[in-house]
């Protein structure tokens, strides 16, 4: 989700516990929308205003253009569905980014013509991803091999847009039969159990909180979930069994996160934000 100004409405009493960790800037880049980490440790970062996919070295703290996605005007959600092969949202198109070739290549898988505002992306299995349509308040299951897709989740109470900006469900991730997602302008965080083959709901759409803005999210190495809070300027940690957020670091305009994949940075959340990519070290 694009960077928002800080909210002026205070959180409910004791909505967030503070337990701040080490925070440092990795690189300065404008308006990072989403991040993913390759198996070699390189960070990939998207921006909704450009088709450039950035590659970031977190050790050298440098960034380069990995490639430009032909046909896209901006990029949002990204996820690795096969070793070093990623799906990325570019407008209404879903693109394949292949780092197994040198140089890396991009290709359009398919355009979801009826989409309203595609934003969040979650890897479901090695042949499909889940895509959040923030404008429709729905989730598509998209086959990365054939381009076939269908709406599999839709819930007016937790996914639909609200307020002056038609933007509802935002961040989305899947693990072990559960879809976790945010609704950015409802200041809410949700979960729903789904069928591991079809991704259709098998349980109720549950709400974890309704008083903290949430953008995109990621899974940590400690079984916790981490949520970027955009205009709340933080990264929060959530114990899935409890559902209560704990702030682990201040990152202005935080939009997304992904954990490191090497021994050196397995406990480091790389956070996309309005002014670049930041590293937040968390306790494991």
pLDDT digit string, tens, across residues 191-217: 999 999 999 999 999 999 999 999 999
pLDDT at residue 20, rounded to an integer: 55
Candidates 215, 177, 220, 217; CA nearest to 196 is: 177
> Residue 14: pLDDT above 50?
no
Predicted model pTM: 0.93
User: What confidence tier does 1 reach under pLDDT thresholds 50, 70, 90?
Assistant: low
User: What confidence tier does 21 reach under pLDDT thresholds 50, 70, 90?
Assistant: low
Domain limits of the chain?
40-231
Looking at the structure, give the CATH architecture of the domain made up of residues 40-231: 6 Propeller (2.120)
Mean pLDDT over residues 232-253, rounded? Answer: 95
> Residue 10: pLDDT above 70?
no
**158 three-class SS:** helix
Residue written as token pair 């956070």:
271
User: What confidence tier does 165 reach under pLDDT thresholds 50, 70, 90?
Assistant: confident
Length of the chain, in residues: 284
Mean pLDDT over residues 174-183, rounded? Answer: 98
190 Cα distance to chain centroid: 14
Mean pLDDT over residues 173-197, rounded? Answer: 97
Residue written as token pair 């970031």:
56
Summarised one tens digit per residue, pLDDT across range 46-97 is 999 999 999 999 999 999 999 999 999 999 999 999 999 999 999 999 999 9
Distance, CA of 181 to CA of 133 (rounded, Å): 12
Contact, 250 vs 280, CB < 8 A?
no
> Residue 16: pLDDT above 90?
no
User: What confidence tier does 13 reach under pLDDT thresholds 50, 70, 90?
Assistant: very low
Contacts with 200 (C-beta within 8 Å, 6 or more apart), sequence order: 152, 153, 194
Mean pLDDT over residues 181-192, rounded? Answer: 97
Contacts with 128 (C-beta within 8 Å, 6 or more apart), sequence order: 81, 141, 142, 143, 144, 199
Contact, 240 vs 38, CB < 8 A?
no
């Amino acid at each position: 989700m694009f960077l928002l100004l800080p909210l002026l409405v205070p959180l409910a009493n004791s909505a967030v516990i503070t337990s701040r960790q080490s925070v440092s800037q990795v690189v300065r880049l404008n308006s990072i929308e989403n991040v993913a980490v390759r198996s070699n440790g390189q960070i990939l970062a998207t921006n909704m205003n450009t088709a450039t996919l950035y590659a970031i070295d977190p050790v050298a703290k440098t960034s380069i253009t990995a490639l430009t996605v032909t046909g896209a005007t901006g990029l949002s959600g990204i996820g690795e569905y096969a070793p070093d092969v990623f799906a990325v949202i570019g407008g209404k198109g879903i693109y394949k980014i292949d780092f197994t070739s040198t140089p890396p290549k991009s290709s359009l898988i398919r355009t979801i013509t009826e989409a309203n505002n595609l934003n969040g992306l979650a890897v479901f299995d090695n042949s499909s991803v889940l895509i959040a349509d923030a404008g429709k308040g729905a989730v598509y299951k998209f086959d990365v091999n054939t381009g076939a897709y269908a709406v599999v989740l839709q819930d007016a109470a937790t996914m639909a847009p609200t307020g002056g900006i038609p933007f509802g469900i935002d961040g989305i991730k899947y693990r072990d039969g559960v879809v976790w997602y945010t609704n950015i302008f409802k200041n809410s965080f949700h979960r729903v159990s789904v069928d591991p083959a079809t991704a259709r709901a098998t349980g109720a759409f549950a709400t974890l909180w309704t008083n903290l803005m949430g953008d995109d999210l990621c899974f940590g190495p400690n079984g916790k979930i981490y949520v970027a809070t955009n205009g709340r300027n933080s990264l929060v940690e959530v114990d899935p069994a409890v559902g209560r957020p704990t702030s682990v670091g201040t990152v202005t305009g935080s939009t997304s996160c992904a954990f490191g994949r090497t021994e050196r940075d397995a406990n480091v959340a790389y956070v996309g934000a309005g002014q670049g990519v930041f590293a937040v070290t968390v306790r494991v």
